[in-house]
Amino acid sequence: MKETLNKCEERMKKRVDHLDIEFKEIRAGRANPNVLDKLRVDYYGTPTPINGVAAVSVTEARTLTIQPWDASILRAIEKAIQTSDIGINPQNDGKVIRLVFPPLTEDRRKEISKDIAKMAEAKKVHVRNIRRDTMDDLKKLKKNGDITEDDQKKSEKKVQELTDKYVKIIDKMSEDKQKEIMSI
């Protein structure tokens, strides 16, 4: 029973952690190195993350600088950025690549805010699905005689409390990110 509850909480926490990663990858008018996390560069035949072959830093509020440790990979980094869905054209000066993030328009802010709400809602659905699966597991344990009906009811109450807790966390994360987007 405890194992079932621990597994439930662990799965819910993973959903929240994943949402946090998704929120960090949102391009929001400020330079954020996390937008490059999904990009891979062909480095001697191996797909390698950009931060594994270069120093990535925020030099100004809206400028990201990528300085490769090996100058021969500069073109590969530039190509990876151009073919990605980041939507920013890299500026290559032969030594470093600069990404200048344009300021957000009001329409783009509203669009990003809607996307944030959709992401949050999808994660809440995942959390609720985990609750449903855990409740089913508890019913199976009761049916097999592994736990009593009282234990089942207590466990179901704990599962609901976990669900409420993680839904509130997701709502708070979404609200904070939307405020951040609207304040830029």
pLDDT at 99 over 70: yes
pLDDT of 29 above 70: no
Whether 154 and 136 map to the same domain: the answer is yes
- Residue 112 pLDDT: 86
Interval 93-99 mean pLDDT? 88
pLDDT tops 90 at residue 1 = no
Torsion of Cα atoms, 168 then 11 then 28 then 31, to 10°: 130
Task: State the total domains in the chain.
Answer: 2
Residue 71 tokens, joined = 């100058």
**136 compared with 45, residue with greater pLDDT:** 136
Query: Which strand ranges, in their side-by-side order, compose the sheet holding 63-68?
Result: 54-60, 63-68, 97-100, 91-92
Alpha-helix residue ranges (DSSP H) falling in the chain: 2-24, 74-82, 106-143, 149-183
Q: Is it the case that residue 117 has pLDDT exceeding 90?
A: yes
Residue 28 is predicted with a pLDDT of 65
Give the rounded percent of residues in the chain with a pLDDT score beyond 90.
35
CA distance 36 to 99: 11
Does residue 15 sit in the same domain as residue 70? Answer: no
pLDDT at 130: 95
Looking at 41, 66, 100, the residue that finishes a domain is: 100
Which residues contact residue 85 at a Cβ distance below 8 angstroms, ignoring those fewer than 6 apart?
A: none
- pLDDT top residue among 131 and 106: 131
Domain that holds residue 77: 33-100
Residue where a domain stops, chosen among 100, 128, 146: 100
End-of-domain residue from the set 100, 125, 159? 100
The verdict on 81 and 123 lying in the same domain is: no
**Are both 109 and 131 inside the same structural domain?**
yes
- Assign residue 44 the CATH number of its domain: 3.30.1360.40
| pLDDT given at position 119 | 93
Assigned token pair, 85: 């869905």
Strand bridging mode 63-68 / 54-60: antiparallel
Tens digit of each residue's pLDDT (9 = 90 or more) over 18-27:
999 888 777 6
**Mean pLDDT, the chain, whole residue set:** 88
